[in-house]
Structure 1
Amino acid sequence: MPFLVRAFPVLPGKENQLRQMATELAGPRTESVGGFYRNLGVSHESWFLQKTPQGDFIIVITQIDNAEKRAEEYAVRDDGFTEWFKARVRSLSGIDPDTQPLGPPTEQIFEWKPR
């Protein structure tokens, strides 16, 4: 299954809110996030916080089937959990999942695999 990798800016002063969101997803919202990811064809997702002189970024790595199709589905979903999730993404990163469902554009420029 292919990887989808993207880096979202973390708006200044939002790191604690980002950490709270991750804690909530791993705790009281774990069942909701599980259904959310399964319905979008996600088999794995990891988030990494990276601090740089240009500001903080959250790097998101997702294993997903048919990312383009799933992005279209995600952009138009409006159930309660999805709206909660999208609102958090908007407030923490400034990226609007309705218009950029895959997040900021990325381009793979290198890959290494053992022979």
Structure 2
Amino acid sequence: MPMMVLTRLIPPEKYEDWRAGLEAFGGPRRAEYTAARTRQGITRQDVFVEHTSDGPMEIMVMEADDPARALEMIATSEEPFDVEFRGFLLHTLGLDLAQPPAGPPPEQVLDWTAPAHSPA
């Protein structure tokens, strides 16, 4: 399954809002989040935080048949949840999905999968 990984520094003053939003998307708003990701063809999404010397950093891992298309759908959807989600990204990360990225997408330099195990 194709995968995309994106990283973004979280402004320290927005960290609590970011964390609360993710807790809501994984908790009481999980059904809405699941419906949105299903519409966008996303089959898995994980979000990590790494505390760096520059501040907290979000690490997002997304699996989808077409990750670039899934991001485009998130960026352009008029579904109320998706509009609100874009607002969340803009507020907490300063990320405006309506604007083209500043550079090329991340370059994958290693793709490794464990070999299938045969029962002995």
Partner of 1:78: 78
The runs of 5 or more residues in structure 1 that have no matched partner are none
Cα drift, residue 95 of structure 1: 1.2
- C-alpha distance in 1 between matches for 2:100 and 2:18: 19
Cα drift, residue 114 of structure 1: 4.4
Paired residues for 1:53-72 under 5 Å: 53-72=53-72
Cα drift, residue 77 of structure 1: 0.7
SS class of match (1:13): helix
The runs of 5 or more residues in structure 2 that have no matched partner are 116-120
CA deviation string 1:27-64 (max 9, x = no partner)? 22111101000000011111000011122110000111
More deviation, 2-11/32-41: 2-11
SS class of match (1:6): strand
How has the CA–CA distance of structure 1 residues 105 and 93 changed in structure 2, closer, same or farther, with 3 Å as cutoff?
Answer: farther
- Larger radius of gyration between Structure 1 and Structure 2: 2
Give the aligned residue type for 1:58.
E
- With normalisation by structure 2, the TM-score equals 0.83
Cα drift, residue 96 of structure 1: 0.6
Cα drift, residue 112 of structure 1: 3.4
Cα drift, residue 19 of structure 1: 1.1
Cα drift, residue 100 of structure 1: 4.4
Partner of 1:37: 37
SS class of match (2:62): strand
- C-alpha distance in 1 between matches for 2:13 and 2:84: 20
- With normalisation by structure 1, the TM-score equals 0.87
Moved over 6 A (4+): none
Cα drift, residue 83 of structure 1: 1.1
- C-alpha distance in 1 between matches for 2:67 and 2:46: 16
Partner of 1:92: 92
Q: CA RMSD in A?
A: 1.9
